[in-house]
């Protein structure tokens, strides 16, 4: 794979997410009922607070995770990994950004870099909101713990964008691979 291939893959992923985010509405009633059957009530309430496009995305990630774990002993139907897939992005709520704000935040970070934008957590206004968006994994982990979600689900949310931290999650490598592949739709 060439050096530019991961960047192109990431760009394609973000473009597809953007187009999908423009479609109004949330998941179907049957999909929402399925999620409700998987998540504990307080965690379901957190998931239900996410915008419709994020909930639709999370259901796709959960189903692709489940499918990716088929054939791995006792993993495919483990509600732990389905829950991790469903709420991995719940921390985006703390940023309070809509689709246009997320696009601007992503482009801004691409231009200014991670080191500079990470310092914005000490600012106010839109820079603070962008910093929260960039830190959505850690913020989501806090939300998951507060809602009574499992520690493994919280650890996946915190580390899902940082493969250098995956080993510290204690999540089986096959599960991490399935979760990651499922999120890169």
Nearest to 54 by CA among 14, 26, 31, 33: 26
pLDDT for position 25 = 78
When pLDDT is averaged across residues 79-97 and rounded to a whole number, the result is: 94
pLDDT, tens digit, 9 for 90 and up, residues 70-86? 888 777 678 899 999 99
When pLDDT is averaged across residues 148-164 and rounded to a whole number, the result is: 93
pLDDT for position 44 = 97
Report CA-CA distances (Å) from 181 to 47, 64, 77, 141, 161: 21, 8, 17, 20, 12
The alpha-carbon radius of gyration of the chain (Å, integer) is: 16
Alpha-carbon gap, residue 178 to 85, rounded angstroms: 10
Q: What percentage of the chain reaches a pLDDT higher than 70?
A: 85
Neighbours of 34 (CB within 10 A): 17
When pLDDT is averaged across residues 148-161 and rounded to a whole number, the result is: 94
């Amino acid at each position: 794979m060439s050096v530019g291939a991961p960047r192109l893959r990431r760009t394609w992923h973000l473009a597809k997410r953007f187009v999908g985010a423009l479609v109004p509405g949330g998941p179907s009633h049957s999909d929402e009922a399925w999620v409700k059957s998987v998540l504990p009530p307080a965690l379901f309430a957190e998931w239900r607070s996410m915008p419709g496009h994020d909930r639709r995305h999370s259901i796709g990630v959960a189903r692709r995770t489940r499918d990716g774990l088929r054939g791995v002993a006792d993993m495919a139907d483990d509600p732990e990994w389905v829950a991790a897939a469903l709420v991995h992005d719940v921390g985006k709520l703390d940023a309070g950004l809509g689709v246009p704000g997320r696009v601007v935040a992503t482009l801004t970070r691409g231009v200014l870099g991670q080191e500079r934008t990470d310092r914005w957590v000490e600012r106010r206004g839109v820079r603070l909101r962008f910093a929260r968006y960039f830190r959505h994994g850690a913020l989501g982990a806090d939300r998951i713990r507060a809602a009574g979600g499992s520690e493994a689900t919280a650890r996946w949310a915190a580390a899902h964008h940082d493969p250098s931290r995956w080993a510290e999650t204690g999540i089986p490598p096959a599960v991490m691979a399935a979760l990651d592949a499922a999120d890169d739709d």
